[in-house]
Every structure is written in C-alpha cells, then in structure tokens.
Amino acid sequence: MAMGRPREFDTDTALDRAMEVFWQKGYEGASLAELTKAMGINPPSLYAAFGNKEALFRKAFDKYAAEKEAFFDELYRQPTARAVAEFYLRGAVTYLTDPKRPKGCLAINNTMACGDSADRIRQELLAKRAIGEARMRERLERAKREGDLPETADAAALTRYLSTVLQGMAVQALGGATREDLTQVAELAMKAWPST
C-alpha cells in the first residue's frame, strides 16, 4: 500500500503557534485566517491535521497542560502545605510572565465571558479546573492529617484562596503587571497562610 504525500509542516510547531494565538486572542477572538497565517499553512491543511477549530483548541490546550505537568508533579511533592502554596504561587508568577510566551494563562483567558460558539470550550476548561482544585484540596487535607496545617484550617477555602490569587495574577499579567509586581503580590498573599 502507498504511503501518500508526506506533510510539509511540523504539526507540533504549528500547534505551538496556534496555542499562542489562542492564548493572546482567546478562542473566540482567534480567527481561522489568523491561525493559518501564524501556523504557516492553508485552511485545508489545518482541517486535515487537526479536525476543526474546536479540536485544534483542545489539542493546543493539551499541549499547554502537558508543558505544566512536570511543575505540578514537583508541586505536590513539596513536603509541607506552606511549601506547596509557596511553590504554587512562585511558579504561577514565573509562568504568567514568561518573556518567551504571551502574558497570562491560556486556561483562565478562556473561562471568561464569551459567546455561544466558545461556551462549550469554556465549560470543558471549568471542568478541568475543578479537577485541579480537587487535587490541591486533597493535598491540603493530607497536610492537616500530617500536622503541618492546623486542625482548624479549611482546606477547601485555602484552595479557593490560592486559585483566586493565581487567577487574579493572570488578570494582572494581562494588564501589564511585571514579574516583580507579581512577586510582591505572591509574597503578600503568603502572609495569609496559616502558621503551623
């Protein structure tokens, strides 16, 4: 059987370009014209390789999530709740202001207000966020059992607080806040953390 004509572009670098467009413009604000231009391909190549706009976004997001996998593995290996919280916020500052990448967070950008065409994507991202928050809550509950969080601490509330600060920093980064600005915010935010 024949192999067919080989692809002339690299799907992974094309996907990376698409990811950055979605990151900067949002799912709704990223037009096919802009995507194909950034990816260096024509629409039929995009559709053959990725399906459609929604599928392209999902693959781009999977790539985005995969790039953060190592971070989360290391995050949850931190010895204490305080270390986890600090690692989380410091890491967030780093990622949100990476000079090689668009500012802010692809996931957070696409869970905001949007039209009907983007709402399915939005719901999917919210579901994934809920999974991530559950993981953090479990880690903090473990910390309570291990004694490095007081019995009175509310793991769910602390998790929501960390999420809130992360998301707020993502908004700030989009507004032009620098890495130094957000470092100050993260340090300040840690002052609310319960002492052992």
Residues forming the site for DNA (CB under 7 A): 1-9, 30-34, 41-49, 52-54
CA distances from 157 to 134, 141, 160 (A): 12, 11, 5
Nearer to DNA, 14 or 84 (CB): 14
Nearest-angstrom CA–CA distance, 2 and 161:
57
With tokens 């392209």, the residue in question is: 56
Of positions 15, 19, 30, 60, contacts a copy of itself by CB under 8 A: 30
Task: Name which of 129, 186, 157 is nearest 149 in CA terms.
Answer: 157
Task: Report the nearest approach of DNA to the CB of residue 29 (Å).
Answer: 8
Task: Name which of 13, 19, 49 is nearest 35 in CA terms.
Answer: 19
Nearer to DNA, 49 or 114 (CB): 49
With tokens 């690299």, the residue in question is: 10
Which range of residues in 40-48, 69-77, 140-148, 157-165 is near a copy of itself by CB under 8 A? 157-165
5 binds, among DNA, a copy of itself, none (CB under 5 to 8 A by kind): DNA
Which range of residues in 1-9, 11-19, 51-59, 150-158 is near a copy of itself by CB under 8 A? 150-158
Residues 180 and 167 sit within 8 Å (Cβ to Cβ): no
| Window 165 to 194, contacts with a copy of itself (CB under 8 A) | 165-172, 174-177, 181, 184-185, 188-192
Helices 69-76, 53-67: axis angle to 10 degrees equals 40
109 binds, among a copy of itself, DNA, none (CB under 5 to 8 A by kind): a copy of itself
Instruction: Give the contact letters, 98-117, x = binds to a copy of itself (CB under 8 A), - = no.
Output: ------x---xxxxxxxxxx
Task: Report the nearest approach of DNA to the CB of residue 55 (Å).
Answer: 8
CA distances from 14 to 17, 24, 99, 118, 178 (A): 5, 16, 20, 22, 28
